[in-house]
Structure 1
């Protein structure tokens, strides 16, 4: 029996990775190009020397294939993505980047023809002196156009790089330095261009001038033909993309589906739209922190009907749903393309106000990470301060918070928040789980020692000894920026945080200073042989947990 097989097309994720890879190639080219421009601030001969190094790779056969292959592939993938979009409704920053990207060829075609194409057709030697004299002295309008082109191309690349890296663990700390570099590099390049242009404008014209690229391109019929061909090709591709989009939408008018939402809200869209796109068409508030790329689960919906009638999830959607433990019948709205009418209910329902939606998009979607969490609370604080002046209470709290904060930070942890007379701290966010657990144990020991010292200083002021209750647990938690407005901060949520809070309560119940879970001791590689342990039932948790009460450990 003969089986016919349809060609396997690259997945959406594969095409996106290829678009990122080709964009990175062009960004590296732009970076080296701007660095070369910046050498003009030293002198024109130094820039000419740098140009030889620059052209040694990018002007070679391998460099040319890599660069122009990346350019053509990237343009093709962008137009393909534009064609595939069921709706042109998008976030403002996404639309801004798209517009900048479409403007780049229109700005750069003349410059490419005057330099690269002229060199390929006539073997003309291109130098910094000839290019800058042409753009600054002979045809300053072209110089202004190339300046705008440089800013547009660099801004497009930086925005794309930001979208790609914004959820990486290290990016938040590195972003100020990257922003400074992204701002300084084009400024230095433009200063180098203008400085050399001013020098050439004041200098006498050379006796045997090299051909000026812009002048040559305007006079040469072959270059004019190449210029018109490139403009026509790009314009034709762009017009063809929108034309095919229009043709597809016209054909899909008779093939529409209805997406039913709670509250008798219905949105009719062409077949092939995702549920998230239907929400945007119908102006129904719908979370999508990652921008609809399947990298988060905030857009997930519960299918109210038979989920078996829907197309199965692809690898990207399946992996995301499995990671969050989604039950059957829950799908990602940004990946689900129903072929028939469907009823859905968003799992996360956002506020209708746009300000709230914008605030959510600015936050990190979070990441799962193994960390250690510590809760610390002052024992019998209410009783100690019941008959004291408010200013005295504030004084005590500030002394207590200061010693807890210093102990945590000196041990390598991070104070998450102060709640009443309690504190929550995170360890291991920027290190390994082992280092995080060791840091938490060091911080707990230092807090206990400092509390004893504080009691010796203020003991006469209080009828009972100053004591704390500390609970430490380690395991997976979701780390992300949460909150609203100015109250946003990096924090952690999950079962690990809840268990650490319960262990602090256990320390109070057992009149102990410290209760540490077995996972903390194991990750910290502390020898527990001979240490008394206990198995407790943590409230809200099905499994029992082995813990150590006031363990006499000195973590490395």
Structure 2
């Protein structure tokens, strides 16, 4: 029996892959910074050509010193080689259109910028002449506008490639959705302002071409040498791209003799090249296979049970072991997205796709779940059972609906979302479209509104109640999975995770201590509350390794003051 709870030892190959990704990211950021400064320098053309020249002095100071040159061209070459490596490593060229676009733009970029690099940096290295903006703009705007158009396309392609790379890097961050509009706006404005600056400078030189000095001329020998360098760079980069595709063809030919057969229930057999994961095999054969996280090892929904051929298979990675340990997976269970069999194996998917939503589950769409940092509010009427016993059923329904109406309005006016009503209890979520700090403040505001609404409700129906209605509430914050869950007409947006369970336990603690509100320390810190006058407690939660610090508030009026 395999024990998935043992601490994972990171393999050397995984460490190399991690460093490879980090290096690719670092070189991409260097190139992105170069583009940002280059575009900013172009944008100064909206002021004047003199402003562009002054900006160029700072630009050269940053990028034309030995360290800047090494970083720039080292990053460019390394990033391009890594793009070729990524192309080679892919088992199939089927990929989402965003990834395909990023890869195509990255591979085409060197061919678009070679002429410009040779005409500026290489020419400067050979002749010692520092070509300024007047000369460059004169060449691209007046003498050879077709080259200017090609250079414009090159800059846009480079910027799009960089923006896609940053998008793939940041899209999983919890804060990305809040700042996405700002980032998209900047991504559009930067190249637009740069192109407008270039056009403005071009028109200025066209109106007075002699005002910025005569055109520079280089010797025929230097021109011939630059032409040979230009052709050599084109041929070199073309050979590298061609080599990557040839290497893929050779690898595919070698692996055809090493195909692995994966046997599914009902005698479905899929033959895939060595190195494919079980999930990739399912997708290749069109076999429905649940994968809510999209095959990144962030969930366990794609897990399979190995019924034959387990011996001799590669052990699970640290990430896979951690996920299996979290769900207390038994023996012979593997994650289909991480398990890459080295010989024939028979598997049985553990989670059925069912009759509904097969396509969305297989694709792992956003509707099926996104991880977010939110705030949670639980509230529950106390003593409602005895209240219902003393009232007629229709009267009880009327009172309950008035209570639900008050809570719902309080939550929505504070900026929250009612997840569900559970008996006489309510679960509300905050932060679906706000920052964690704002979500915490909204949750506290909702608690205060509910308390005030309950006072008004007790005053309005005082003759109906032998004793005023009392409430127990809890507030907690943390990561959850938010998505549409349910079946048929009962499908709705909801949240699941340890944060929800902890908030429910805090609400139970409020009942035990006869307190109106219990706030976790996470909410208090995010909302900036000073609760030093309140009682602090530490709650141990069953099934949760870490305890939870919280504040006991007997009366919500204390919080209001």
TM-score (norm 2): 0.79
Alignment partner, residue 47 of structure 1: 52
Aligned to 1:386: 394
Counterpart for residue 379 of structure 2:
375
Counterparts of residues 43-82 of structure 1 (less than 5 Å): 43-82=48-87
User: Per the alignment, do residues 237 and 167 of structure 1 end up closer, same or farther by CA in structure 2, a change over 3 Å counting?
Assistant: same
Question: Mapping of 1:128-527 within 5 angstroms?
Answer: 128-205=133-210, 208-211=213-216, 220-287=223-290, 292-294=295-297, 297-305=300-308, 307-322=310-325, 326-350=329-353, 354=359, 360-361=365-366, 365-366=370-371, 373-376=377-380, 379=384, 386=394, 397-406=404-413, 414-417=416-419, 419=421, 422-426=425-429, 430=435, 444=447, 447-456=450-459, 458-459=460-461, 467=469, 469-472=471-474, 474=476, 478-482=480-484, 492-498=495-501, 500-501=503-504, 514=516, 516=518
User: Which residue does 1:116 correspond to in 2?
Assistant: 121
Query: Structure 1 residues 491, 264: closer, same or farther in 2, change over 3 A?
Result: same
Shift of the 463–141 alpha-carbon distance from structure 1 to 2, 3 Å rule, reads same
What CA distance in whole angstroms lies between the structure 2 residues aligned with 1:150 and 1:18?
23
How big is the shift at 1:113?
A: 1.3
TM-aligned CA deviation for residue 79 of structure 1: 0.9
Aligned equivalents of 1:15, 1:349: Cα separation in 2: 36
Moved more, 280-289 or 268-277: 280-289
Q: Deviation string for 1:214-253 (max 9, x for gaps)? A: x999981111111111111111111111101101111111
Structure 2: distance between partners of 1:207 and 1:477: 60
Question: Secondary structure in 2 aligned to 1:386?
Answer: helix
Change (3 A) 1:32 1:326: farther
Aligned equivalents of 1:171, 1:397: Cα separation in 2: 34
Which residue does 1:3 correspond to in 2?
none
Aligned length: 532
Structure 2 unpaired stretches of 5+: 1-11, 526-530
Q: Are the structure 2 counterparts of residues 300 and 59 from structure 1 closer, same or farther at C-alpha, using a change threshold of 3 Å? A: farther
- Shift in Å, 1:119: 1.3
Cα 1:520–1:55 change in 2 (3 A) is closer
On the 8 A contact 1:26/1:70 being kept in 2, the answer is: yes
CA contact (8 A) 2:502 2:541 kept: no
d(CA) in 2 for partners of 1:104, 1:466: 72
CA distance, structure 1, for counterparts of residue 36 and residue 315 of structure 2: 43
| Residue number in structure 1 paired with 2:528 | none
CA shift at 1:150, angstroms? 1.5
What secondary structure does 1:271 align onto?
coil
CA distance in 1, matches of 2:464, 2:70: 79
**Secondary structure of the structure 1 residue equivalent to 2:340:** coil
Distance of 2:60 and 2:392 partners within structure 1: 76
Mean Cα displacement is larger for which, 98-107 or 464-473? Answer: 464-473
Residue 425 of structure 1 deviates from its aligned partner by 3.0
Q: CA RMSD in A?
A: 4.6
8 Å contact from structure 1 (residues 474, 517) kept in 2: yes
> Structure 1 pair 461/132, CA: closer, same or farther in 2 (3 Å)?
farther
**Alpha-carbon distance in 1 for matches of 2:401, 2:475:** 29
C-alpha distance 73-198 of structure 1, shift in aligned 2 (>3 A): same
- Structure 1 gap ranges (5+): 1-6
| CA–CA separation in structure 2 for the residues paired with 1:231 and 1:521 | 58
How far apart in 1 are the matches of 2:333 and 2:143?
Answer: 64
Tell me the SS of whatever aligns to 1:304. strand
Cα contact 1:276–1:333 (8 A) shared by 2: yes
Judging changes above 3 Å, is the alpha-carbon distance between structure 1 residues 93 and 416 closer, same or farther for their aligned structure 2 residues? farther
Q: TM-score, normalised by structure 1?
A: 0.79
Tell me if 1:127 matches 2:132. Answer: yes
Displacement of 1:154 in angstroms is 0.9
Would the alpha carbon gap of residues 221 and 135 (structure 1) be closer, same or farther in structure 2, given more than 3 Å must change? Answer: same
CA–CA distance in 1 between the matches of 2:520 and 2:211? 81
Contact between 2:35 and 2:159, CA under 8 Å: does it hold in 1?
yes
Contact 1:119 1:126 in 2 (8 A): yes
